[in-house]
Structure 1
Amino acid sequence: MQYRSKVACIFLLGFFIDCINIFMSAIAFPAMSTLFQLTQVEAAWISNSYILGLCLIIPMSIGLANLFNTRRVLLGSTAIFALSSFMVGSADSFNSLVIWRFIQGLSGGLIIPVGQALTFNLYQGNDRVKISTLIMMTALIAPALSPMLGGWVIDISSWRWVFYSHLPMILLLLLLIYIWLKPEQLGTLQRPDYCGILLISLALSSLLICLTLLGQSQSTLSIAFAVFSTVLFSGAYIYYAKRHTSPVVELKLLKNIKLKVSIWVYLAVPGVFTGVNILSIFLLHDVLHLTAAQTGSFMLLYAFMALVAMLLVRRYYQQFTAKKLFYAAVIIHSLGILSLAWVESTQSVVWVSVAYLAMGFGGGLAANTAQSTALLDFPEQLLPQASVIWNINRQISFSLGSAVLLMLFYLLQQKLPQLQLLQLYHLIFIIAALIGSLPIFILYQLKD
């Protein structure tokens, strides 16, 4: 096996484990909510804390890889990831669960950007489009199989085994890194940008806290302080990055049209879908009273259509162009979300199937086209920094999508108490479809 194939296998396995940690845990939300007496917004922090850990460590990933070399960094982070996965499954309180999920995110957050930068350095030109397709196909297998398998595990045993089941794959990843990976760097050794890392971390943390407080209807003073903190730290980093010669996240790269449009599409399609999927899980479990395995099985429909879409992107990417593929993806995905507004009872579950089929096709088109387009123009020396931006966006999209929609769900529940629970779900799905269609207004920036 060629060395670049070994590196790609390590990255794809790490990416697969990362996706499992997001989608398999979501199917366990109702069970964990019952045990720890949580609302949907509080339950979302089981994912948010993991994604927050990812987002905070990703800006440091390239610097750590250059300081200690890629092999040492990936070995250490994977070992901590294995430990934290076991501790998440053993958690006896909501606080300990969230803390260990955060540590799990911190340790796992080094695998994706470092692995992607190593892989993309070894796959250039048209090979990069092909490896992007493999990346997105890997991202499909995880959400396709993990919810149903996770639901089956929950139905016959406990939600704890949802997290224990990751351990064999994590240990395999650790072994492959030890055997296959060479000790190398991703660029020239530079002093870590500690100030930039701190500002980025504070801005992301403040944003997620702000959305959570809005969803839980905390005091106006608390919400105002969270909003102020988000604006303050975000503005401070933008000001700092413009004056720093080598900031941890190089915002100048966002001037690249392909990267900028891909980011917005990823926020509006895979990001919004994450929130829609969580709400759909609670709808199917709490309102229609389906089992966890039945609820998770709809992701198989999503994955099948997403696979079809990704194969089409791989074959016709040059012929159709990213612009046309993005238009089709956004429209089809939004229509799929809208289909959930027709779900009334177990007799209308067919609309759930239609929704996941459409969301899968639209999501597959959007994700693979964005993955293939975002980093297409960057030379090797800028690729690690562009990879950091792309992976921060990919992770924060999942968290923002669920946080925003759950916040809107609880705000509408309080402002419109006359609505029945099913009507409330219908309304939030309509709003989600509108949010998901917003990229239509910026796609004109891409050239045919």
Structure 2
Amino acid sequence: MSYRYKIATIFLLGFFIDCINIFMSAIALPDIAQVFSTSQSMVAWVANSYILGLVLIMPISLWLAGRFGNQKLLCFSMLLFSISALLCGLSYSIYSLIFWRFIQGISGGLLIPVGQALVFALFPNKERHRISTMIMTVALIAPAFSPALGGMIIDSLSWRWVFYANLPFSLLAAALAWLWINNSERQRREKPDVFGLLLVTVSLLLLLLSFSLYNDYHNLSLAIGSLFFSAIIFAFYIKYAQKCAAPILNFQLLRNSNLRNAFIVYYAVPGVFTGVNLLNIFNLQTNLHFNAGQTGMFMLLYAAGALVSMVSGGYLYHHIGKKRLFFIGILLHSIGIALLFTVSSRTDLIQLVIAYLLMGAGGGIAANTAQISSLLDFSGKDLLQGSVLWNINRQVAFSVGTVVLISIFSLVSAQSDLLRYQYTFFIAAILSLLSLIFILREKSA
């Protein structure tokens, strides 16, 4: 195997680990909530803390690679990932699990940007479509099969083995990184804006905490206070970034309509779906009495819908344009969510199947179109800054979508728990549709 394909193998393995780690663990959340006697809002931090770790480390990962070398950084990051995965499985309180998930996010966030930079350098120009195809394949296969696999692991063993299952892959990635990556010399790279990164991370943390403070402790004053300080810190960062020569996140780029609309679509579609999916995992297992394995199988339907849309997405983009694609994707996605409103028993299987197929098809169209168009107008330094901003936003959208939908669920009043889920799904469908207000205002392109 040539050197560049060895590097591609390491990166794709790490990317696969990251994907299955996010989607497989989601199936375990009802069992984790039951074992630790905690709420949906609190157990959502098992995912949120992982994403916070990614957000904190990703912008400085390339600088760390230059300082310590690619070989050492990638090997040690996968070793740390393995240790944290083991300790996640051994956790005997929700707080220790959340902490080790945060460490897992930090270690996982080191491999993706550094590995991608190495691979893209080895597959330049016209050859890059080869690795891009491999990345998209992993991005589709991992979310499709990991929930079903995770469900079977939980039904056969326990939720702890969802985290232990990461160990063979992460240890293999660590070994391959040590054996295959050239021991490169340290490279001098521009020191990242650590202060700006801390401001953004604290602002995001306070934003997510504001929802938890209300949902878990029903303390409106603390929730509003946390939200207020989040906004103040973010506003301070915006002022600070305008004077900074190399801000960690350049929000000025959002003046570009392509990037701005892609941001909106990602919150309205993948973000909303993440919250809907988490709530429906609880709903399917608690109210409709599906087991974890059966619940995970529904993501296969989502992936099937997404596969069709992704295969045709590039062709349709150039023939009917992104505005129409956004409209079609958001509409299909919203109809799929709205169908969940009609599901009240296990016998409503046809509605569930159609709902996940539509959410997958619509989500695939919208997300793929956002991915294609987001950085279309950028080059040079703006492209690098835009790439960082876009990839951070993708992760944040998942957390924000989750906490917002859980908050809506906690506010909904109904005669039964099942009706609360149904009303929440109906509201989620409307929220997704509201993004069309911004999309349709744009001039056709």
RMSD: 2.3
The answer (yes or no) to whether the contact 2:67–2:188 under 8 Å persists in 1 is: no
* Greater RCO structure (CA 8 Å; 6+ sep): 1
The answer (yes or no) to whether the contact 1:59–1:248 under 8 Å persists in 2 is: yes
The answer to which of 184-193 and 85-94 deviates more is 184-193
Q: Secondary structure at the match of 1:346?
A: coil
The answer (yes or no) to whether the contact 1:62–1:384 under 8 Å persists in 2 is: no
1:116 Cα offset (Å): 3.2
Match of 1:52 in 2: 52
The normalised TM-score by structure 2 is 0.93
Q: Does 1:440 align with 2:436?
A: yes
One-letter amino acid of the counterpart of residue 291, structure 2: T
Match of 1:151 in 2: 151
Q: Secondary structure at the match of 2:407?
A: helix
Unaligned runs of 5+ in 2: none
The answer to which of 320-329 and 297-306 deviates more is 320-329
Match of 1:425 in 2: 421
Q: Does 1:255 align with 2:255?
A: yes
Q: Does 1:73 align with 2:69?
A: no
Q: Secondary structure at the match of 1:228?
A: helix
Q: Secondary structure at the match of 2:344?
A: coil
Residue pairs, 1:215-254, within 5 angstroms: 215-254=215-254
1:188 Cα offset (Å): 6.2
Q: Secondary structure at the match of 2:321?
A: helix
1:400 Cα offset (Å): 1.0
Q: Does 1:386 align with 2:382?
A: no
Q: Distance in 1 between matches of 2:54 and 2:131?
A: 23
The answer to which of 14-23 and 68-77 deviates more is 68-77
One-letter amino acid of the counterpart of residue 438, structure 1: L
CA deviation string 1:71-103 (max 9, x = no partner): 332222222111101110111111111110111
Q: Does 1:37 align with 2:33?
A: no
The answer to which of 174-183 and 71-80 deviates more is 174-183
In structure 2, the CA distance between the partners of 1:131 and 1:202, relative to structure 1 (3 Å rule), is same
CA deviation string 1:250-286 (max 9, x = no partner): 2233233322222221121111111111111111100
CA deviation string 1:49-83 (max 9, x = no partner): 11111111122223323333433322222221111
In structure 2, the CA distance between the partners of 1:184 and 1:214, relative to structure 1 (3 Å rule), is farther
Q: Distance in 2 between matches of 1:211 and 1:87?
A: 27
In structure 2, the CA distance between the partners of 1:353 and 1:367, relative to structure 1 (3 Å rule), is same
CA deviation string 1:264-314 (max 9, x = no partner): 211211111111111111111000111111111111111111111111124
Q: Distance in 2 between matches of 1:129 and 1:324?
A: 25
One-letter amino acid of the counterpart of residue 177, structure 2: I
In structure 2, the CA distance between the partners of 1:253 and 1:72, relative to structure 1 (3 Å rule), is farther
Unaligned runs of 5+ in 1: none
The normalised TM-score by structure 1 is 0.92
In structure 2, the CA distance between the partners of 1:115 and 1:384, relative to structure 1 (3 Å rule), is farther
Residue pairs, 1:340-419, within 5 angstroms: 340-412=340-412, 416=413, 418-419=414-415
Q: Distance in 2 between matches of 1:186 and 1:249?
A: 25
Count of residues paired in the alignment? 444
CA deviation string 1:98-128 (max 9, x = no partner): 1101111111112223333444455566766
In structure 2, the CA distance between the partners of 1:269 and 1:4, relative to structure 1 (3 Å rule), is farther
1:420 Cα offset (Å): 1.7
The answer (yes or no) to whether the contact 2:270–2:363 under 8 Å persists in 1 is: yes
Q: Distance in 2 between matches of 1:60 and 1:419?
A: 49
In structure 2, the CA distance between the partners of 1:347 and 1:10, relative to structure 1 (3 Å rule), is same
CA deviation string 1:324-370 (max 9, x = no partner): 32221111111110110000111112211111000111111122222
Q: Distance in 2 between matches of 1:376 and 1:435?
A: 27
Q: Secondary structure at the match of 2:290?
A: coil
Percent same amino acid at aligned positions?
46
The answer (yes or no) to whether the contact 1:405–1:428 under 8 Å persists in 2 is: yes
One-letter amino acid of the counterpart of residue 415, structure 2: L
Q: Secondary structure at the match of 1:372?
A: helix
The answer to which of 177-186 and 73-82 deviates more is 177-186
In structure 2, the CA distance between the partners of 1:163 and 1:280, relative to structure 1 (3 Å rule), is same
One-letter amino acid of the counterpart of residue 80, structure 1: L
Q: Secondary structure at the match of 1:245?
A: coil
CA deviation string 1:376-402 (max 9, x = no partner): 343354443322212211111111111
Residue pairs, 1:186-225, within 5 angstroms: 189-225=189-225
Q: Distance in 1 between matches of 2:24 and 2:100?
A: 16
Q: Secondary structure at the match of 2:435?
A: helix
Q: Distance in 2 between matches of 1:390 and 1:76?
A: 26
